[in-house]
Amino acid sequence: KEFGIPLNIIYLASQTDQSFIAAWDEACEDETTPKIVLLEDIDNVYNLRTPIHSDCKLNFETLLNKISGASSKNNVILMITTNRLDYVDPAIGKECVTETGEVTTSRPGRVDSILFLGPMDEECRTSMIADMLGDWPDEQHEVVLRTDGMTCAQVRKTCVDFCTAKFRQELLKKK
């Protein structure tokens, strides 16, 4: 929204072949409007081509078939998120360096560039933790220190675990 471009998020972990095809086609149907299609957490679905969970209902081939040539559509910016670059299959695209030293991807047309964000800095972690742990301001700094070097997903999980433990403590006090 900040860039004035519609953002279509597809959570891969909840997709079947049919639902992914429908979500992709719906996201890309208006060929006159630029848009971003964000495929969320590919590493939560596949380790390379192997499904992470036995109940995964989205075939890797279906995913590849739909995203092939996505960047050749002038109006689609495809983004794929992952916390584990080592889980991304080379068929999707990996960062590589050409003989001339140019940084590119192994599969232009599927993935044209890779942006590694890495761990969150202290300012970002502090802001996120303050939002998530607003009821416990005295303990936020401890959580900020504990999450040094973590990605956004890892910081979020730490906050969720913290909140769960706090709620559990409160419930036990009331018994």
Q: Please write the tens of the pLDDT for every residue from 132-145.
A: 999 889 999 999 99
Provide the pLDDT for residue 124: 94
Q: How far apart are CA 42 and CA 52, in angstroms?
A: 10
Contact predicate 58/15, CB 8 Å: yes
Q: Is 155 exposed, middle or buried (0-12, 13-18, 19+ CB in 10 A)?
A: buried
For the stretch 99-115, pLDDT in tens is 998 888 888 777 777 77
What the block records as the tokens of 107 is: 């599969």
Could you tell me the pTM of the whole model? 0.70
Helix (H, G, I), strand (E, B) or coil at 64: helix
Q: How far apart are CA 85 and CA 43, in angstroms?
A: 8
**pLDDT reading at 72 higher than 80:** no
